[in-house]
A and B are shown apart, each in its own frame.
Chain A
Amino acid sequence: MATDANTTQLDGFVFPAWVNKMVLLGLASAGLIGGYVATVGFFATHPKVINVGHMPEQPVPFSHALHAGKLKLDCRYCHNTVDKAAHAAIPPTATCGNCHGGKDRVKEGATLAAVHLKSEKLTKVRESLESGEPVEWLRVHELPGFVYFNHSAHVTRGVSCVECHGRIDKMEVVYQAKQLSMKWCLDCHRNPDESLRPVDQVTNLGWDPQGEELKKVYDEELEKAFGHLGRSVVGDSNDLRLFYYDGKAGASKAGEFAVNPLVNKQNLQHVFAEKIFGEDPKLADGDGSGDISLAEALLYLKDCRSSPTRKDLGVLLKNAYKIKPKQNCSTCHR
């Protein structure tokens, strides 16, 4: 229907008026729906949502709350290879048999009473002890096949079970408490200070000293790491008579410390900074001058020791035992 040459009137198709409102409405709803899908998608695929909360029903209803919580059994009684190998091995049925052996066990004259002989919850344990076939537990914490996590590397350096497994001593049925995603692990590898604790407290899941108690722990660790340095800090910054003494050279008088031959005044500050503050000496750089004067070091040490935080304890442990969590890919992937 070619229109004739000269009259070019606009009789072509023109959208009805309501189309304008419709387009605005459409854009707005598209935005909303899009936003909704994005947020649900983000949270739905968030590792915390996907990983946390896996609680399979085990063949034997073993309660950590009872054994580790109430009875205060140490984790390493059952998971005895946690500080020796990559896997914190699930105990053999024989370990359960020590108490639930089902037979009165005579050991060095002490009759070991068989606990819950008849409980039908333990039928599988007894069957396993008879038949030698293992109890088929269900895996709770599952890392992908290409990730090589090593328990002993963490447990022997002061990372407690609670950091990754949560308060498992309060769980009736074990569930995965933390997301254990790569970002989650890297966050801790990048600043491990809050997660470090003295090695002997690793299986004490409830260990969370505050205030005075934390101060006592801090001093103990300071002493263990750097000898008597911490006990008596005297003098002010210029005629300082505090010297670094690592316990070998004999102390001349009580309260007086002999100079450690290796350390002269100039690099005492360096030794101090390097020993205590590790990579980020800026913690003690009060006046922002960039370098830490001895006074600032002492000042920092004082308030550290006066009201230490878990982070300070972490920095101290990191330096005392040369804990340098690696961030190379081959640490976990190979």
Chain B
Amino acid sequence: MSTAESKQVIFRSLDDLEETPEFRQFVAREFPEGVENPPDGVTRRRWIQLMGASAVLAGVSGCRFENKKITPYAFRPEDRVPGDTREFATTIEWAGAVRPMYVTSYDSRPIKVDGNPLHEESGGSVPRGRQAQAVASKGTSDLVSQASVLDLYDPDRSRGCLEKVGREFESRTWADFAAAVGSLDLAASGGEGFVVLSEPTTSKAVSALKDRFAAKYPKARWFDYSPVNSDNEAAGLKAAFGKSVLPQFDLSSSEVVVCLDADPLGFHASSLKNSKGWAASRVPYSARVAHRPIGRYYSIESQFTITGMNADHRWPMKSSVIGSFAESLRLQVEKVREAGNPIDPVGSAEEQRVAILANELVYGINDITPSSSGKCVVMVGANQPAEVHQVAAVINELIGSKLVSYVSVPESASNLGSIGEAVEVLDSGVVENLLLIGGNPLYDAPAELGFGSVLAKAKNKIHFSMAANETTYQCDWHANMAHPFEVWTDSVAYDGSHCVGQPMIDPLFDSKSTVELLAMLVGESKTGMELVRGAFGDLAETDWFEAVHDGFVKGSASGATAVSQPVVPAGLDAAAWMAEDDSIEVVFTPSRLHDGRLANNAWIQEVPDSVTKVTWDNPAVVNPKTAKALGAKQNEKIKIEVDGRTVEAAVFIQPGQAENSIGIAIGYGRKKVGHIGGSIEKGIDPVGVDVGPLRTSEGWGMRNGVKATGTGSRYRLASTQDHHAIDPTGKAEIGSRWSRLIYEGTWESYEEFADTIIGGESKSEGAKSYSELKPDEEEKREHWPGHHHLHFENVDPIPREWKYSDEFKWGMSIDLNKCTGCNACVVACQAENNIGVVGKDEVARGRELHWIRIDRYMAANETYHNAGKILDDPEPRIRTQPVACHHCENAPCEQVCPVAATVHSDEGLNDMVYNRCIGTRYCGNNCPYKVRRFNYLNYSDAVTFVKYPWADKLSQDDISVKKLVNNPEVSIRSRGVMEKCSYCVQRIQNGKIKAKASGVPLGGDDITTACQDCCPTQAISFGNLGDKNSQVSKNHQDVRSYVLLEELNIGQRTKYMARVINPNMQWPVYVLGEDGEPTFLRYDQVFKEPSHHGAHGSHDGSGDHSEDGDHSKDGDHPKDGDDHSGDDHSKDGGEKHEKEELK
């Protein structure tokens, strides 16, 4: 407040004083600085006057306003409405893995990613209420796409180009880089000694530029390398059909799918389309209408994958012997085809199983309208060697599978081959200039090549990448690569369609795209758009705009090519898999960090693994028996050694993991990533362990015959479920309780139920579908599986004096028959609702903030359960169940909040008012689902009343970059505040207001939640229960629909739909015989199925009648004191139904 030149003013009256400028400014400032010492230039006496006069007024108007700026456009684009979100189509490609996307931008700032609804992969014919609308709003997506927007605002991205001077990097501009490249005079002697090691890309623009590059630098060498590749599949199919093809799978009408170490629902290039097909094939209602059984899925694998969790039968087997198993399956299929009819399974459990598989592959399982359906397929995982893919192609051809077709793809050298060649060229010391485009070969090249030492031999090394990683630190120049949302790109999706990647926002930092870099090298000065548009051939202006709008060129998906008779591979020994063999194998499983490039993505690091529920780590997953043999215990380290190189990883005991098989995910343990993924300089330790040293060219996917021993040194894994080793009491209770939480029944019982309830025609003429029940048959709407249903009606304990709005009644339905437990909804919710990341230590303490928790229950079969040896069951079943807030009408949390921070809206939402919450956390205690999350510490770096100055984890400008990802429609929660799923209340409110303003009444399905949009199988449906024909109302009326913890009588608005499994009743199941020795029995001997009319078990005793028979029928479980089983009800209940039918 400089008033040096102010004249001596005689203070006459308060008003006179008040008018002086410095007084107004003094009062206007919210926190007058330096109140203690008088501001310079003002005499003491004058200052006392000021303080005296202003004391009252300043006190009164002390908290005046901090001036905030509003900066509108200078020239606002035509249809831009500030503060509104708009969606644009684009694509992201990570070294060949292409994802067509729909990005939501808020004031041209991308904040949310969804699948492209128009593309076959992520949109298309998913049976969903909304699909009928002209513009399907959002397509499905997986958890990695949902999290990709966070990488755009990663504060650890480099701000511009860097040049290494001495040992330090100094920032440079692109002009400096261009000058430096010019001075290298690359074109001298035709590009002699100029090597490019790039990550592969399907982009046609890049391949066009590559040709022009080769023309300009004829002697330059170009190598494509990516650690995550499908070389084996390509080699296998090339050997089978003689040309390079890519298989396309359509599982929507599948009867039998056999997965050999394959994970179509999890890590697969077209996992979204597979998931959609898997779900469509198992909808019981439409299966009945189409007179076919729901699909039956077999999974023969070493790791517990997402497909394994959801398979009807899962058979753990070491990955290294799956090849020989495939060969014996092929021989059996040929035998069955020659026999002309199914061969009934005899012999040992393994032989019976192969026989059953072969019978079902050849003749299908549709006994309603039997036909050699050809609706069966065998799929093989990318880790398997080429011959296994070849055998699978032969089998598929033998059984005449219509579910797989082949698409011809351009010839490409194998990745491992080209990195080997590149290392040879580098090693020969002839390389002058080395340009690395993307990738991180120092981290992920095969171990035996020793890429680190070889890299030093190149003189000028340039690394073009988004952030400085391990390889960049060994290079001389770092050119800053732009994020795909900032630049024009193009790519070819899995189904061959040519996709456009349009930019959402100008590059945040000084960065360029690959095409722009190559154009610079080739000496062209075209812009990114021109280069990309050039790759689309001579598209007319309108077609080009339509392609950019849709995200891909319609109809450009390549059609199936005819393939010749596949050649049978030699050298596969059909008997090896049955032989006793206790050699240890290590399998390098695919990971959510792709090849390690997503290590700095906090959302991916913190979302719990679908099976192990471990976060921020890649544990060595080991079978309990193998762990005992190797002397390794949970939360301790195990040392694995291959060719003298050792790696120490934390052990995770996983029942159901194949014996003698250790699984570790790739992409972890990187040392130079950033504040999330770990960086040695910043003193942040790396996340997980680097398996690089164990991976050699020939043992790329897996390696058998490794040495592994438990080290005994402790290592704490941070998991979100079963934080501690569950004690026997707990395990027994989980075993008996999970069947009351996740309702499940077999396809036979569903058919029987549907026939008797809907009744009438026998199965063959195609029974009426359940929804064809006429309204007056309302009272026939029974529940399936019946034996769980409460046999008393819940009464509303508190007469409601205020009434619900008759217009909106929000509710949700989650179909457990479709949910695969893939976690996409968890990350989508995190992106939509600004949910914080808490870090490894806080997850270990049980304080993760995800609003959806995917519960995973492991259940051994009855024999192991009763003997208390739950961990010894070789084939436990895993069931998953997404649990979020159920918005109960009589919510236990609302009664106990002392400050009314959580109250009920008249539309049925449980409103959580963050600004009113003071954090007593009683609501968290009283929620039976424990879905409320508490901000224990300063996770969101938000401003609070008091906090330590060093409390924020990042510097202010890093925080400002990271904050750009936040959705402005949802408030940020500071520490000390409770938060929970709000049914995406911001979407509800905005949807209602837009509908009111536009005058078009809001349909029952028009408002969708973030989890509903992204779910690959559309398991979640949300909408207005008041509108009878909304999808959620139909689901709530469905026969499979039930309420989790219904007996608590709290009026939940979320209902689940029971799961329908389709097991083969003759399938041999490993059980514990009476003498305690493992033997095997038929499936229906082990899992007794109470007919749906069975005991309407009273809700307490239901444990002993549940479908999976985890208590034997006679209910000898000690706890089950009351002997009043439900049988007596059922008898009269049963007759009652029959009588009605016969009338």
Is A–B contact present in the complex under a CB 8 A cutoff?
yes
A38-55 contact mask (Cβ, 8 Å, vs B): 1 or 0: 001001100001100010
A148 touches B969 (CB 8 A): yes
Q: Which residues of chain A in 207-257 are interfacial with respect to chain B, using CB atoms and an 8 Å cutoff? A: none
A309 at the interface (CB under 8 A from B): no
- Among the listed A54, A85, A133, A146, which residue makes an inter-chain contact with B84, where contact means beta carbons less than 8 Å apart? A85
B1032-1072 contact mask (Cβ, 8 Å, vs A): 1 or 0: 00000000000000000000000000000000000000000
A313-334 contact mask (Cβ, 8 Å, vs B): 1 or 0: 0000000000010101111011
B775 at the interface (CB under 8 A from A): no
A34 at the interface (CB under 8 A from B): no
A87 touches B971 (CB 8 A): no
Q: Say which one of A66-74, A91-99, A103-111 lies at the interface with B.
A: A91-99
- Among the listed A90, A148, A150, A331, which residue makes an inter-chain contact with B70, where contact means beta carbons less than 8 Å apart? A90
A139 touches B68 (CB 8 A): yes
Q: Which residues of A contact B916 (CB under 8 A)?
A: 329, 333
Give CA–CA (A150, B70) in the complex, Å: 17
B74 touches A330 (CB 8 A): no
Q: Which residues of B contact A285 (CB under 8 A)?
A: none
Please classify how large the interface on chain B is, using the bins under 10, 10 to 19, 20 to 34, 35 or more.
Answer: 35 or more
A87 touches B83 (CB 8 A): yes
Give CA–CA (A69, B226) in the complex, Å: 68
Give CA–CA (A50, B969) in the complex, Å: 27
Q: Say which one of B92-100, B377-385, B725-733, B981-989 lies at the interface with A.
A: B981-989
B72 touches A135 (CB 8 A): yes
Give CA–CA (A84, B970) in the complex, Å: 20
A56 touches B970 (CB 8 A): no
Return the chain B residue nearest A93 by Cβ: B74
A134 touches B68 (CB 8 A): no
Give CA–CA (A330, B909) in the complex, Å: 8
A138 at the interface (CB under 8 A from B): yes
B39-73 contact mask (Cβ, 8 Å, vs A): 1 or 0: 00000000000000000000111011101111111
- Among the listed B971, B972, B990, which residue makes an inter-chain contact with A333, where contact means beta carbons less than 8 Å apart? B971
Return the chain A residue nearest B983 by Cβ: A330
Give CA–CA (A331, B972) in the complex, Å: 17
Q: Which residues of chain A in 122-159 are interfacial with respect to chain B, using CB atoms and an 8 Å cutoff? A: 128-129, 131-139, 142, 144-146, 148, 150, 152-153, 156-157
A193 at the interface (CB under 8 A from B): no
Q: A92-B74, A330-B982 given as contacts; is B915 within 8 A of A138 (CB)? A: no
B74 touches A328 (CB 8 A): no
B903 touches A329 (CB 8 A): yes
Q: Which residues of B contact A137 (CB under 8 A)?
A: 69-72
Q: Which residues of chain A in 150-176 are interfacial with respect to chain B, using CB atoms and an 8 Å cutoff? A: 150, 152-153, 156-157
Give CA–CA (A148, B982) in the complex, Å: 15
A333 touches B986 (CB 8 A): no
A195 at the interface (CB under 8 A from B): no
B911 at the interface (CB under 8 A from A): yes
B907 at the interface (CB under 8 A from A): yes
CB distance from B917 to the nearest CB of A (A): 10
B70 touches A132 (CB 8 A): no
B69 touches A333 (CB 8 A): no
B993 touches A333 (CB 8 A): no
Q: A90-B72, A94-B76, A329-B905 given as contacts; is B83 within 8 A of A145 (CB)? A: no
- Among the listed A43, A129, A333, which residue makes an inter-chain contact with B74, where contact means beta carbons less than 8 Å apart? A129
Q: Which residues of A contact B70 (CB under 8 A)?
A: 90, 136-139
Q: Which residues of chain B in 895-943 are interfacial with respect to chain A, using CB atoms and an 8 Å cutoff? A: 903, 905-907, 909, 911, 913-916
B68 touches A81 (CB 8 A): no
- Among the listed B67, B81, B805, which residue makes an inter-chain contact with A84, where contact means beta carbons less than 8 Å apart? B81
Q: Which residues of B contact A44 (CB under 8 A)?
A: 59-60
Return the chain B residue nearest A150 by Cβ: B993
B74 touches A132 (CB 8 A): yes
B792 at the interface (CB under 8 A from A): no
Q: Which residues of B contact A50 (CB under 8 A)?
A: 61, 63
Q: Which residues of A contact B523 (CB under 8 A)?
A: none
B905 touches A128 (CB 8 A): no
B32 at the interface (CB under 8 A from A): no
B74 touches A131 (CB 8 A): yes
Q: A44-B60, A81-B81, A85-B84 given as contacts; is B971 within 8 A of A334 (CB)? A: yes
Give CA–CA (A242, B84) in the complex, Å: 49
B996 at the interface (CB under 8 A from A): yes
A83 at the interface (CB under 8 A from B): yes
Return the chain B residue nearest A139 by Cβ: B68
Give CA–CA (A326, B993) in the complex, Å: 12
Q: A87-B82, A134-B71, A334-B989 given as contacts; is B76 within 8 A of A152 (CB)? A: no
Give CA–CA (A156, B994) in the complex, Å: 10
Q: Which residues of B contact A94 (CB under 8 A)?
A: 73-76
A185 at the interface (CB under 8 A from B): no
B9 at the interface (CB under 8 A from A): no
Return the chain B residue nearest A51 by Cβ: B65
B914 touches A156 (CB 8 A): no
Give CA–CA (A143, B997) in the complex, Å: 23
Q: Which residues of A contact B906 (CB under 8 A)?
A: 326, 328
CB distance from B280 to the nearest CB of A (A): 35
B76 touches A330 (CB 8 A): no
Give CA–CA (A334, B59) in the complex, Å: 33
Give CA–CA (A85, B969) in the complex, Å: 13
B67 touches A330 (CB 8 A): no
Q: Which residues of B contact A90 (CB under 8 A)?
A: 70, 72
Q: A84-B81, A92-B76, A137-B69 given as contacts; is B996 within 8 A of A156 (CB)? A: yes
CB distance from A200 to the nearest CB of B (A): 15
CB distance from B897 to the nearest CB of A (A): 12
- Among the listed A54, A83, A150, which residue makes an inter-chain contact with B64, where contact means beta carbons less than 8 Å apart? A54
A156 touches B997 (CB 8 A): yes
Give CA–CA (A85, B80) in the complex, Å: 11
Q: Which residues of B contact A330 (CB under 8 A)?
A: 905, 909, 911, 913, 982, 985, 988-989
A138 touches B67 (CB 8 A): yes
Return the chain B residue nearest A91 by Cβ: B72
Give CA–CA (A282, B990) in the complex, Å: 35
B69 touches A138 (CB 8 A): yes
Return the chain B residue nearest A144 by Cβ: B915
Return the chain B residue nearest A95 by Cβ: B76
Identify which of A50, A89, A144, A330 gathers the most chain B CB atoms within 10 Å of its CB: A330
- Among the listed A49, A54, A83, A91, which residue makes an inter-chain contact with B60, where contact means beta carbons less than 8 Å apart? A49
A271 at the interface (CB under 8 A from B): no
CB distance from A265 to the nearest CB of B (A): 26
Q: A90-B72, A92-B76, A135-B72 given as contacts; is B982 within 8 A of A334 (CB)? A: yes
A273-310 contact mask (Cβ, 8 Å, vs B): 1 or 0: 00000000000000000000000000000000000000
CB distance from A116 to the nearest CB of B (A): 19
A86 at the interface (CB under 8 A from B): yes
Q: A89-B72, A328-B905, A328-B907 given as contacts; is B82 within 8 A of A81 (CB)? A: yes
Q: Which residues of A contact B81 (CB under 8 A)?
A: 81, 84-85, 89
Give CA–CA (A153, B990) in the complex, Å: 9
CB distance from B426 to the nearest CB of A (A): 49
- Among the listed B68, B73, B989, B994, which residue makes an inter-chain contact with A142, where contact means beta carbons less than 8 Å apart? B68
CB distance from A104 to the nearest CB of B (A): 20
Identify which of B69, B74, B982, B985 gathers the most chain A CB atoms within 10 Å of its CB: B74
Identify which of A93, A129, A131, A146 gathers the most chain B CB atoms within 10 Å of its CB: A146
A148 touches B76 (CB 8 A): no
* Contacts A/B (CB < 8 Å), 11 sampled: A81-B82, A94-B74, A135-B72, A148-B989, A150-B990, A328-B911, A330-B911, A330-B988, A331-B905, A334-B911, A334-B969
13 further contact pairs, Cβ within 8 A, besides A50-B61, A94-B74, A150-B989 = A49-B61, A81-B83, A85-B84, A92-B72, A128-B74, A135-B74, A137-B70, A144-B915, A330-B911, A330-B913, A334-B969, A334-B970, A334-B989
B residues adjacent to A (C-beta < 8 A): 59-61, 63-65, 67-76, 81-84, 805, 903, 905-907, 909, 911, 913-916, 969-972, 982, 985-986, 988-990, 993-994, 996-997
Rank and list the top 10 A-B pairs by shortest CB-CB distance, nearest first: A328-B905, A87-B83, A330-B911, A92-B76, A92-B73, A329-B911, A146-B971, A146-B915, A134-B71, A89-B82
